[in-house]
Amino acid sequence: MKLLFTLLTLISFSFISFGQDAKAQSILDKLSTKMKDQKSFYIEFSANIKNSSIGTNESETGKGWVKSNKYYASFGDNTIISNGLKTWTIVKEEKSVYESDADEDDEESINPRKLMTIWENGFKNKYSKEITLKGEAVHVIYLYPKNARSVDYHTIILYISKAKNELKKVVMKTKDGTTMTYSLTRYTPNATVADSKFVFDSKKYPGYNLIKD
């Protein structure tokens, strides 16, 4: 569980310009436009991390709220809160809260907002095929980091609903043989969420050690 949470929050990105696959880019552009038209959204997802060589096979569920540049995510016993200026990663197992600048965190982490726009920066893309996923036609698009030496993964695979134009699944393959799979089980656009959701309240975490980057 701790390994899964760490990998969810610590994958970095790079930003160099490359050419793109025309069909893949067209699908991703339409999805980006749809996401930008929404003021907020709520997601529920299941996640699995597997690495046969070290005997890892962990699964967990999570949920997240996003509003503009703010987000709140719970993943197992852990929580990430960002108000757009600061981000707090709350790790229950350690009874620790890690505080960082939101700009720095956004460049170096995967959070609900980044997960739902992961294709927009730092990748080459390639359309693979159309398949049926749980009875629904989906596009399969591969992403490859433009600066492969600076990241720990080599491939990200997106599964996008053909009819609904929604992200359904993300698979990440790392250089050490780990495969992380995130399956979207619920997606609610323009979800009603109060700004107080994105405010970190230390009183709710008595006894936790606050660590500032």
Which residue segments constitute the domains of the chain, with CATH numbers given? 2-192 (2.50.20.10)
Please, are residues 141 and 27 in contact by the beta-carbon 8 Å criterion? Answer: yes
Q: Cα–Cα distances in Å, from 34 out to 16, 29, 39, 164, 190?
A: 24, 9, 11, 10, 11
pLDDT category, 103, cuts 50, 70, 90?
Answer: confident
pLDDT category, 110, cuts 50, 70, 90?
Answer: low
Query: How far is residue 22's CA from residue 70's CA, in Å, rounded to a whole number?
Result: 31
The first and second tokens of residue 8, run together, are: 């969810």
- pLDDT of residue 180 exceeding 70, the answer is yes
Strands (E), the chain: 40-51, 56-67, 70-75, 78-82, 86-91, 96-101, 123-133, 136-145, 153-161, 167-174, 179-189, 209-212
pLDDT category, 20, cuts 50, 70, 90?
Answer: low
Chain-centre distance for alpha carbon 93? 21
- pLDDT of residue 62 exceeding 60, the answer is yes
Q: Which one-letter DSSP state was computed for residue 20?
A: -
pLDDT category, 6, cuts 50, 70, 90?
Answer: very low
0.85 exceeded by the pTM?
Answer: no
pLDDT category, 194, cuts 50, 70, 90?
Answer: very high
